[in-house]
Copies of this chain bind each other. A is one copy, B any other.
């Protein structure tokens, strides 16, 4: 007998991800053509919901492999957080619904090249989990000072397996 619970990755897709934030990607026809038609602008894809001051940082993270085991999720009461991969490598996006001050069962989304995410303000999510090195991301989030982190440790770990 084991206390480990299992979840399988699912492809990152805007509708399924909508309760948690927005998928940032160029899908379908662009909203505008610019630069004499050479460039398509897919406009205003993320809901930046930041209490005070937004900024852009770069995160460089060690990668993880599947099966990936975790028991920690976190959330940020003062702002959304956009993760914009600077490579074409996939990464895992782990999120969980809120059950009223604690998270429910998590979901694990697997990105495709060209997909970023904006995780909504106060949405439970796992730490950054690239699946290849270098795990390099531009991050648009709150850059003001002061605490902005709530953590939750599940009573038993979860294991993420390929979908």
Q: Which residues of A contact B (CB under 8 A)?
A: 24-26, 30, 34-35, 38-46, 48, 54-62, 82, 84-88, 113-114, 116, 118, 127-128, 134-136, 138-140, 143
Q: Are A43 and B57 in contact (CB under 8 A)?
A: yes
Q: Are B60 and A54 in contact (CB under 8 A)?
A: no
Residues of B within 8 A of A88 (CB): 86-88
Q: Are A86 and B114 in contact (CB under 8 A)?
A: yes
Q: Which residue of B lies closest to A83 (CB)?
A: B138
Q: Are A55 and B44 in contact (CB under 8 A)?
A: yes
State the copy count for this chain. Answer: 2
Query: What is the distance, in angstroms, from A47's C-beta to the closest C-beta of chain B?
Result: 9
Q: Are A60 and B26 in contact (CB under 8 A)?
A: yes
Task: Provide 28 A-B residue pairs closer than 8 Å at the C-beta atoms, listed in order of the A residue.
Answer: A24-B56, A25-B58, A26-B59, A26-B60, A26-B136, A30-B60, A34-B59, A34-B127, A35-B127, A35-B128, A38-B61, A38-B62, A38-B127, A39-B135, A40-B60, A41-B57, A42-B57, A43-B55, A44-B56, A44-B143, A46-B55, A56-B118, A82-B138, A84-B86, A86-B87, A86-B88, A86-B116, A138-B138
Q: Are B35 and A45 in contact (CB under 8 A)?
A: no
**Interchain CA distance A157-B99 in the complex, whole Å:** 61
Question: Which residue in B48, B87, B116, B128 is a CB contact (below 8 Å) of A39?
Answer: B128
